[in-house]
Structure 1
Amino acid sequence: MYAERPFPGLACVWQRTTSSPAVGRVVPDGCTDIIYSATTGEVFVAGPDTVGHVTRVSGTLFGVRFGPGVGPLAFGVPAVELRDQRVPLAALWGPSARLEDDLGSADDPCSVLASAALERLRETPPDPAVGAIASAVSSSSVGELAWSLGLSARQLHRRSLAAFGYGPKVLHRVLRFDRAVKLAWAGVPFADVAHRTGYSDQAHLSREVRELAGVPLGQLIRP
């Protein structure tokens, strides 16, 4: 069972519970998460992924999700250093015994994680270019986007790697893929998904999903 809910200042908080060990597929969405395992007591960071991967899950996981470009502000490292990685939170924040104790005794571990995450975010001012890159990357060429931000293409690429873990072109692919998957989950026909998210046709959508997720779209959204 997986459920998520909105939380002010974050993309969402979420909880996943399995009654027995299971296999799940994690796919790119441009986000970073802090995850707490109530079974093992581990607290770790899931960096931005470039491809889907299969993971084994058991017990209950609690997580907070940062929107694209936000997580690195809380972690204090460029997103590219976390790309496709799962890193103990203590490696980024230092010893976290108090946080782990609070999580272990909390009725709502998601709120504990969210409070810690938001406290870190308040300590670091956001890069004003990050939101502009995320919102414009789907509608502008790299050159146009760089010009609109007063950056060279090389500077844009560097800023994008630091904030998102991807260069602008890969970021566009990942964010478009994420929008497409959400529409497909909502029951939108695949041909309409392709049209609404900017793929040239359904075949183009199918190729991109296979490359980024590792499985066909129908299999990816199968309950």
Structure 2
Amino acid sequence: MGLEIESRPSDSPFVEAVWRSRSRGVDRMTSVAATTWDLVVCEQRGRIMVTVQGPESAASRAPVPEEAAFVGITFALGTSMPHLPIGGLVNGAVDIPDATRRTFWLKGSAWRLPDYDNAEAFVRRLVREEVLVSDPLVADVLRGAPPDLSARTVQRRFLAATGFTRGAVERIHRAREAAHLLHAGIPALDVVHRLGYFDQPHLARSLSRFIGRTATQLRTRDPAEPMSLTYKT
């Protein structure tokens, strides 16, 4: 019962992870804040749906289609599809039309549905045909390597490539790391010191906003309402 999840890393610089899941006896989930975006293929009772799921600035409760199977590609931070500007996808999604059991329609062309094992080949074609692009400035900024550009230009390009400011990205990443640590049994006070929160109330506010769970709740699993720390539906 719940969501059966499997995920793997990718050797593609354009992809953060590839995942698949199946819903059984669960109708909702906690969707945590995420700076990345996903292409998701859903099969439910013979019907195929393809969706571009945008980044999320805060935690929310989301419905889960009943008895459905999903395959998702989580794209690396800084990647985008220029014909679907990332800023317009934050806290939203776009359904891709004309999906069949084999193909779907994207930017004027038919594409074979990606699966868990061939996701990288699918992404290579996206890049080759310039449907998917990446701004290397994002990685440089997050590494602390100052680009030879004005601060205003850096801010503008970072926001255009990610949909977020650098500060928002760092706050979301820190909250997700805190959730992983708490889920692994690390005491809350240790998490505060390790990740640079001011105090436990500061950590609690961050968890409430970005994760949708308290520190106590993160130490247990609730199969009736799973949480999307490594995947989305």
TM-score, normalised to structure 1's length?
Answer: 0.79
Q: Which runs of 5+ in 2 are unaligned?
A: 99-104, 222-233
Aligned to 1:171: 169
Partner residue in 2 for 1:69: 78
SS across alignment from 1:16: strand
Within 5 Å, give how 1:11-26 maps onto structure 2: 11-26=16-31
Report whether the alignment pairs 1:110 with 2:116: yes
Deviations 1:60-86 (A, max 9, x none): 11111112222x1x4544321211111
* Contact 2:9–2:18 (8 Å) recurs in 1: yes
Equivalences for 1:15-164 in 2 at 5 Å? Answer: 15-39=20-44, 40-57=47-64, 58=66, 59-70=68-79, 72=80, 74=81, 76-90=83-97, 93-94=106-107, 98-100=111-113, 109-122=115-128, 123=130, 126-136=134-144, 148-164=146-162
Asked if the contact 2:5–2:21 (Cα under 8 Å) also holds between the matched residues in 1, the reply is: yes
1:6 aligns with 2:4: no
**Structure 1 pair 218–64 and aligned structure 2 pair: CA distance change class (3 A):** farther
2:229 aligned residue: none
Choose between structure 1 and 2: higher helix proportion.
Answer: 1
Q: Deviations over 1:65-110 (max 9, x none)?
A: 112222x1x454432121111112459933565424xx5xxxxx22
Q: Which has the higher strand share?
A: 2
Per-residue CA deviation, residues 177-196 of structure 1 (Å, 9 max, x unaligned), is 12222222333222222222
CA 1:97–1:219 in 2, change beyond 3 Å: closer, same or farther?
Answer: farther
**Which structure is higher in RCO with an 8 Å CA cutoff and minimum separation 6?**
2
**1:155 alignment partner, SS class:** helix
Q: State the identity as a percent.
A: 27
Whole-angstrom CA distance in 1 between matches of 2:170 and 2:150? 18
Please tell me the residue identity of whatever aligns with 2:7.
Answer: E
Structure 2 residue identity aligned to 1:93:
L
TM-score, length-scaled by structure 2:
0.76
Root mean square deviation, CA, Å: 2.5
The separation in 1 between residues aligned to 2:28 and 2:21, in whole angstroms, is 12
SS of structure 2 residue aligned to 1:160: helix
